[in-house]
Structure 1
Amino acid sequence: MDNETFNLDLRKFLKQVGVTSQREIELAVGRALAEGRLDGVKSLPVRMVLTVDGIDLTHEVTGELSLDQPPR
């Protein structure tokens, strides 16, 4: 295995995941706000599941996305 090639491909993939995931979340939250589906909602639970076929890897990351304004 060529570690340099592997690491470059891995970083490219993770960058693509980050950029596209952020865009999709922002668009979905914007639509939900416009449709009034988030009235009174202060945060959204979020979960990302990573799977890698061929090595039987499943990794889950959970968190919370705050919709509240930060305190002033």
Structure 2
Amino acid sequence: MDEETFNISMRKFLKKVGVTSQQEIEKAIRAGLANGRLKGDEKLPAKMVLTIGGVDLTFAV
């Protein structure tokens, strides 16, 4: 495997994960505020799970 190609692919994937995750979090928070489920001063626990098949990787942050 070409190391440079792998690194570029990994960076693109992580950028997509970061951008998409932020959009989904913002959408969920806005919906929670709009429907009254959230007041706006809560601390919300967050968890992210990364799973990669083929290498049996499951990693939680």
Where does residue 48 of structure 2 map in the other structure?
A: 48
Q: When you count helix as a share of all residues, which structure comes out higher?
A: 2
TM-score, with structure 2 as normaliser: 0.94
Letter in 2 for 1:7: N
- 4+ residue segments displaced more than 6 Å: none
Percent of pairs with identical residues: 62
Please name the residue that 2:38 is paired with.
38
Structure 1: 5+ residue runs without aligned partners?
62-72
Measured in 2, the distance between the counterparts of 1:48 and 1:18 equals 11
SS at structure 2 position matched to 1:46: coil
Higher relative contact order (CA 8 A, sep 6+): 1
Q: Which has the higher strand share?
A: 1
RMSD: 1.2
Contact 2:33–2:40 at 8 Å: present in 1 too? no
Show the 5 A alignment for 1:1-72.
1-39=1-39, 42-61=42-61
TM-score in terms of structure 1 length: 0.80
- SS of the residue aligned with 1:43? coil
Q: Hey, what's the Cα distance between the residues in 2 that align with 1:40 and 1:48?
A: 22
